[in-house]
Structure 1
Amino acid sequence: MLDNVFSLMRTKYNSLSPTQKNIADYILSSPEKVILYSISDLASQCNTSETTIFRFLKKIGYESYQVFRIKIAQEISQNTTKSIYGEIQQGDNINTLKKKVIKLTTDSITDLNNIIDEKQVSLFVNKIIQAREIILFGVGASNMIAGDAYHKLLQLGFNVRFCSDPHIMNMIATHCQKEDLIVAVSHSGESREIKDAVDFAKKNNATIASITSYPHSALSKKSDIILLSSSRETEYRSDAMISRINQLVIIDLLYVSLVLKLGPRLVENINKSRLAVAKNKT
């Protein structure tokens, strides 16, 4: 595979079908837009199907849309910091960086007021309370977010499990029940490991709740409940820095909502958990 994805598309261009050439033309003319799109968004812009997009990617040597999109973002950035924080410049000093990073983060958290659906939060909270078992899935950076949710729900005394190993996730999902709640965390909503596990869980009619940044992603389409974690898509951030912080805020929102809804019962569980942990401290 050529190092440059744009060169790769151009060299393969004559071997593409007319539909695939249309996809290549769109990507080459608007790469800054493509890095913000889920695969379904790109398919819509090119007036084609997700399946056709996948065929195009395989034709040029990519097995994953996420990898392809990251590669485009990296090449657009041309070794600058723009792909991480668009407003940051190469010559910024530490004081300027501090102010810009903090402002980007606080602005993004403020944006949650506009993108979090209160009805979806209520549904999420009620499903947690009703579930026979709560099963949390997350891989990569999302593993840490799912782990934080696991810690908080365990502290509250819920019957909860957490897994980040793709093989184990699939096995757990295969044996889950209709009364279970699957909580899938994925910034892109396109992680194959998460999608596979969710597919297995859906076969058993388990409820799927997702925390993701893209409303048109594959995970969102498979979910019964969706909490969106980002609206700041002006630049593609490969490590989802802003989304990660917002997802932690969402976990805290669910945590506090549960405590307020169930009251004394959960407060007692919190105290028990704290005492248990205190045993390990000197």
Structure 2
Amino acid sequence: MDNFAARLQMNRERLSVKELQLAAFLQAHQQRASSLTISALSTAAGVSTATVSRFAKNLGYVNYAGLRVALGQAPVNGASLFEEIDPGESPLAMADKVFAANINALQATVNSLDATSLATAVDLLLGARFIDLYGLGGSNIVALDGYHKFLRTPLEVRYAADYHMQLMAATRLTKRDVAVLISHTGEDKDALALAQICHDRGAKLIVITGSAHSALAKLANVLLVSVAEETAYRSEALHAMIAQITLVDMLFTLTSVRTGQQGAKVLAAMRDTIGQTRQR
């Protein structure tokens, strides 16, 4: 099922003032809007028909008809993908909302994936001489988690926590290498500097970001978008980290399946080595 709320969240930054006005109307009246003609909607929302058409295309729909279908499929439960937490609620009720928010982030993210991007990403990873994982701040945790996972494969993977060491590693990349770069905003100047070095060296770039139209996204050979929304008690980046980690886990799983027996041997050797560290 298409997720209108997820598409809106991913593309919000590129919308004009009038398009944001339309978005607010659609979020408040999605079921009503799904039955309106484009002219009726433009009148009800106080925007032009051109704005409605442009809005639909900016969200990735072919035309207004596609937007109408998505609105009709969307759940009728308010404007937000993620529920706010009431400080007067019980701990169990709060916990339920935290889990629900993470589940929603994952569902919205998987709905944004496409088969071509996944296939391309896996082919690039399997064909790479080296795979470098880069991330700054919270995204560095995601990169480290990816390194921990990809060490279980036959692929040559590298990771550095220090930004200067990341710059040095990126400088050594070639057209035979792949960099996986994680940045929630896609606008961090240090992340952009890393991406530009990778691009200049001819390395292929897989970008994981929360902004599909960011400066970083424009440099990507493959773009994977993590969908999240900020709430009063939790930043957007924290929701996004769950989705980013899962996207990396997805890449690991898809590539591992393709490595076959060679991958199985490496995994068995890893398990044997780690097993020897445990007390008998």
> Shorter-normalised TM-score: what interval?
0.5 to 0.7
Displacement over 3 Å in runs of 4+ = 232-239
Match of 1:260 in 2: 257
1:233 to 226, 229, 235: 229
Cα distance in 1 for partners of 2:17, 2:196 equals 26
The yes-or-no answer on 1:162 pairing with 2:159 is yes
Alignment of 1:277 with 2:268, yes or no, is no
Question: Is 1:105–2:122 an aligned residue pair?
Answer: no
TM (normalized to structure 1)?
0.67
Instruction: Kindly indicate whether residue 182 of structure 2 is the aligned counterpart of residue 185 of structure 1.
Output: yes
Secondary structure (helix, strand or coil) at the match of 1:155 reads coil
Q: Which moved more, 1:126-135 or 1:192-201?
A: 192-201
**Residue 220 (1) aligns with residue 217 (2):** yes
Number of aligned pairs?
207
**Shift in Å, 1:92:** 2.1
Distance in 2 of aligned mates of 1:205 and 1:168: 19
Aligned-pair distance for 1:164? 2.9
**One-letter identity of the residue aligned with 1:98:** A
Counterpart mapping for 1:1-282 below 5 A:
38=13, 41=14, 87-230=84-227, 232-233=228-229, 235=231, 238=235, 240-282=237-279
Contact 1:117 1:227 in 2 (8 A): no
TM-score where L is the length of structure 2: 0.68
Distance in 2 of aligned mates of 1:113 and 1:209: 17
**Shift of the alpha carbon at 1:118?**
2.0
Instruction: Say if 1:234 and 1:160 are closer, same or farther in 2 by CA, change over 3 A.
Output: closer
Partners of 1:128 and 1:119 lie apart in 2 by 14
Asked whether the 8 Å contact 1:138–1:163 carries over to 2, the reply is: no
Alpha-carbon shift at residue 188 of structure 1 (Å): 1.1
Percent sequence identity is: 28
Q: Which amino acid aligns with 2:202?
A: N
**Unpaired segments ≥5 residues, structure 2:** 1-7, 19-81
CA displacement at 1:239 relative to structure 2: 5.8
- The superposition leaves residues 4-52 of structure 1 with CA deviations (integer Å, 9 ceiling, x where unpaired) of xxxxxxxxxxxxxxxxxxxxxxxxxxxxx9xx965xx38x669xxxxxx
1:211-255 superposed Cα distances (whole Å, 9 cap, x missing partner): 11110111101111111111x437585361221111121122112
CA separation of 1:156 and 1:251: change in aligned 2, threshold 3 A: same
For the structure 1 residues 234 and 145, does the alpha-carbon distance in structure 2 shift closer, same or farther, using more than 3 Å as the test? closer
Task: Report the alpha carbon displacement of residue 170 of structure 1 after superposing the two structures with TM.
Answer: 1.4
- Structure 1 residues 234, 171: closer, same or farther in 2, change over 3 A? closer
For structure 1, the residue ranges without an aligned partner over 5 or more in a row are: 1-32, 47-84
